[in-house]
Amino acid sequence: MSEFPDIAAYAFLSDCETNALVAPSGQVEWLCVPRPDSASIFGALLDRSAGLFGFGPAGVEVPSQRRYVPGTMVLETTWHTPTGWLVVTDALAVGPWQGGPRSDRYQRAPSDRVAQGVLVRTARCIDGRAEVLLNCLPLFDYGATPGTWSYPGRDYAHAVARPPGGAPELYLASDLRLALTGPRCYGRTVLREGQQAFAALSWHAPPPSSCEEAFEQLAGTTAFWREWLASARLPDHQWRPYLERSALTLKGLSYEPTGAILAAATTSLPETPGGSRNWDYRYTWVRDSAFMLRALLRLGFEWEAYEYFAFLIEAALGSIQIMYGLGGERDLPERTLDHLSGYRGAQPVRVGNGAFDQRQHDVWGMILDSVSTHARHQGTQMGPAGWNGVVQLVEAALEHWQEPDRGIWEIRGEPQHFTASKVMCWVAADRGAKLAAARGDAEHATRWRKAAERRSTPTSAPTASTAGACSCSATGPLDWTPRHC
């Protein structure tokens, strides 16, 4: 049996500014701060010696029950120990915006409730007694660099981990007496029925300093998620809980300071066991955009859809490429982390994504479909600069659709002809024509509609064996039809 938990066994926490993954053992095994695409401080997901944060019962690794508190991204784990029962609750705290000067982190104005930059963990004994252990071992820069713990005051309730270089300092508070040894901070206590304890790790502001404050932050975070979910348009149906969990996950993958939405919160989890196709997905893909917008709008989350669309258009109209960083970054160089073993031995471990500068022709169709979706649902008037950008995107699709690309599979070999890419170029022309017609631009509407409708028979039969590939050699602006490929 592998010492790595199954990927599906990890619980997902979010405050819409960073994410954490919690293993069934109760250990936080993935956390990157201050952003989800920053270097990890807990990286046991990719190497069992790359840092973790445990807070739970001694001598027990298999919980009796784990669940998300309904309607939230708050995790509740129940443990049956040889001497009693213990409930541990974990959350990335969300609380009221406290005002103050404008933060450089926010390209968008903050909401009424924002991430507090605190991982809150509480333990409550509900029967008998339970020994509780705290084990906090942050290892910075993806497990490469240990920090140094110290006491900032004259008590044992607070500790600070100082990393070398410019990484954020970590502040740990607990009502356990904290002991320090090199890169590790640890503590233990025994709770009896009705007693409780807490541990809170912060990288922005001071963490809660008492158990009462920790439970208040948990209550505020629970209220935030339930209030957000209450605005969803969901049917009274047996599958409603699954729709709610999907909506919460989509919101959890958002990055509120910019409106971006991550493809995933992780890097280098293998596509196949032990394989080498281990990519960093902590970015926003244009390919996902239309699907994201449709999901948000259909669920009733117009504000999130608008923020995401604004991020996407600002990034894409500046210079379109297949993916962007959470702040709209365009340069996402890839490197390998050879000091990490990888999830269940899957190597190499990569950060960054070398596909960022690939030519993938589906991007024009996806971005135009997103613009069309936004226009249908939210109807915001498009100014001259925005329309000029749309014209450039459609014209680029018509100019390049016949050329090979690296497709939605992001192949790293030589470019090929892919059916999906050519279909999405047709989508660009179709959506562009509809947008032009709605705008009253008859010239572009007519020309793009003709380009979308024009077809011809390919001059040779398809020969490519790669899935999704197409060897059509048509010659017109869009002289191609999917039935030949």
Q: Using one digit for the tens of pLDDT, what is the confidence trace for 95-138?
A: 999 887 887 778 888 889 999 999 999 999 999 999 999 999 99
Whether residue 433 has pLDDT greater than 50: yes
Whether residue 472 has pLDDT greater than 50: no
| Residue 317: predicted pLDDT | 78
Phi, psi dihedrals of residue 446, rounded to the nearest 5°: -65, -45
Q: Using one digit for the tens of pLDDT, what is the confidence trace for 32-53?
A: 999 999 999 999 999 999 999 9
For 274-283, 361-370, 378-387, which range has the lowest pLDDT when averaged over its residues? 378-387
Tracing tokens 């490519």 back to the chain, one arrives at 464
Burial class (CB in 10 A: 0-12, 13-18, 19+), 485: buried
Sign of CA pseudo-dihedral 393, 394, 398, 404: positive
Whether residue 339 has pLDDT greater than 50: yes
Phi, psi dihedrals of residue 477, rounded to the nearest 5°: -55, -45
For the chain, helix (H) and strand (E) counts, in that order, are: 9, 23
Whether residue 460 has pLDDT greater than 60: no
Asked if residue 110 has a cis previous peptide bond (ω within 30° of 0), the answer is no
Whether residue 480 has pLDDT greater than 50: no
| Residue 426: predicted pLDDT | 95
Q: Using one digit for the tens of pLDDT, what is the confidence trace for 307-337?
A: 999 999 899 877 899 999 999 999 999 999 9
- The residue ranges of every structural domain in the chain are 7-231, 243-484
For helices 302-318 and 384-400, give the axis angle rounded to 10 degrees: 60
CA 177, distance to chain mean position in Å, is: 35
CB 428 within 8 A of CB 393: yes
**Upper half-sphere CA count for residue 402 (Cβ side, 13 Å):** 12
Q: Which CATH class is domain 7-231?
A: mainly beta
What token pair was written down for 276? 């080498």
CATH code reported for the domain at 243-484:
1.50.10.10
| Residue 398: predicted pLDDT | 94
How would residue 383 be classed by pLDDT, with cut points 50, 70 and 90?
confident
pLDDT, mean of residues 352-372:
94
Whether residue 482 has pLDDT greater than 50: no
Q: Using one digit for the tens of pLDDT, what is the confidence trace for 243-253?
A: 999 999 999 99
pTM recorded for the entire structure: 0.90
DSSP 122: E
